Amino acid sequence: MRRATTPKTNSLDQEIRELSLAALQNSNRFAEYHAKTDFSTCHPPYADRNALEKHLNARGIGTNKHYPTPIHLQGAYAELGLGRGALPLAEEISATELSLPMFYGMTDAQVQAVIDAVNEFGGGIMPKVGIVISNYNGWQDTLVCLDSLQKQTFTDFEVILIDDASPNDSVAQLQNKLPPNTVFLPQERNVGFAAANNIGMRRALDDGCDFALLLNNDTSVRPDFLEKLLAETPAGAVSCPKMLFMDPPDEIWFAGGELDPKTGKVKHLGGHKKDGPEFAEKKQVSFITFCCVLLPRAVIEKVGYLDETLFMYCEDVDYCIRLAQAGVPMWFLPDAVIHHKAGGSAGGMLSVYYITRNTLYLTCKGKSAAYAKLKTILPLLTGAARYALTKLLGRKKGRSYGAFRGAVDFWNGKMGRMEG
């Protein structure tokens, strides 16, 4: 049997062929594909064609098989008398080939969506995930989180752990108890949640990860959490799992969220309700808490990193606004589940301070200085009145002081870490 050769093509066909080859060469899987595959066989190196087909179809990408039955075994060619095994190369192609969308009218965006979806599947090569965790004074919670990650059914990941200059003995407690797939990056100064996660995200991308997963240190994840999150995230989208409290473990902490970009106000859906069928449907949302969020490399490269001006709190609000502006969909995927202790890093006065100040910052972002001053007057007066009442009653500084101080600092243009 003669080896198949490439037929002569007209100029348009030749151009399409060259563009297709260029797309393969730009794929981050091309080197592995080229090393393992004889291109003359014309079939992809996927061990399980059905799994790839299911993966693509779930993302709205149609596929076909040309042909499920090798041509020489079809009834139309029965007269040739060729039985199974007569043309092994054709039979191998028939058993492994999967046709992807390709037609003259495809846009660049559609072509890229197909490429991204195939790369996410990885051809039997699992996508590498960089799990970014920031620790501040919470080494006990962090060890619980790390232990749960070591039980994952999906294993091609690294943990990038940043200690944000904890004043306690976190570094000493962590450094000798870390799993082997952990990169530990202790910081010399307290840079805040946003900057710490940016350090981890940059490291993940530098290490060649296809995804960065931001994960709070006071969480515990179920064994199939990462596998399900990766399998169900649509191509080019950002996603989050269902988040339950650690105690009680059947109570919703976060089941997707709603965001008003004009005010910066968010609503956690399902908060404190019992988990049940109403929280079992995956859906698009307008807000995802960065307690746990899966960010594809392409999204980070397009949208950028967290706004370090905020220091901590509201980074997710700002990022979700930017995702929406960039046309990146956000998905709540309830088949993936984690448990959240909630409040493991900060709370009380500090959280109110940062939320008050940062919400003002986000609502005034891109506006004039005069608008920012006007927008701050009401929170400033309200905060002052409540704080004055607290002092009058002889109580210690608390949430009322946090709200007042947050408004004052924004009025004075003070961002970053709270001082004094």
| Tens digits of residue pLDDT in 72-124 | 888 888 888 888 888 877 877 887 788 888 887 889 888 888 888 877 765 54
Same domain? 229 vs 369: no
Same domain? 204 vs 228: yes
DSSP state of 287: B
Smallest Cα–Cα separation from 323: which of 293, 303, 304, 295? 303
267 C-beta neighbours (distance < 10 Å), count: 12
Kindly state the percentage of the chain with pLDDT values over 70: 85
Whole-angstrom distance, CA of residue 300 vs CA of residue 314: 18
Q: Supply the pTM of this predicted model.
A: 0.67
Which pLDDT value is given to residue 9?
42
Residues 247/249/255/258 CA torsion (nearest 10 deg):
-10
Alpha carbons within 13 angstroms on the beta-carbon side of residue 217 total: 24
Residue that terminates a domain, selected from 278, 305, 340: 340
Residues with Cβ within 8 Å of residue 259, at least 6 apart in sequence:
265, 266, 267, 286, 287, 317, 320, 321, 324
Tokens of 366: 């891109």
For the chain, what is the mean pLDDT?
A: 83
Same domain? 188 vs 320: yes
| Confidence band of 57 (pLDDT split at 50, 70, 90) | confident
Same domain? 117 vs 134: no
Assess whether pLDDT exceeds 80 at residue 2.
no
Q: Does 5 fall in a domain? A: no
Same domain? 405 vs 258: no
**Bigger pLDDT: 104 vs 140:** 140
| Confidence band of 39 (pLDDT split at 50, 70, 90) | very low
Assess whether pLDDT exceeds 60 at residue 45.
no
For residue 171, give its domain range.
Answer: 126-340
**Bigger pLDDT: 350 vs 257:** 257
Q: Does 92 fall in a domain? A: no
Name the domain count of the chain.
3
Which residue reads 């709270």 in tokens?
A: 418
| pLDDT tens-digit readout, 306-360 | 999 988 888 999 999 999 999 999 999 999 999 999 754 445 888 888 888 888 8
Residue that terminates a domain, selected from 321, 340, 359: 340
Which pLDDT value is given to residue 15?
56
Q: Does 135 fall in a domain? A: yes
342: left (phi over 0), alpha (psi -120 to 50) or beta: left
Which pLDDT value is given to residue 10?
53
Assess whether pLDDT exceeds 90 at residue 394.
no
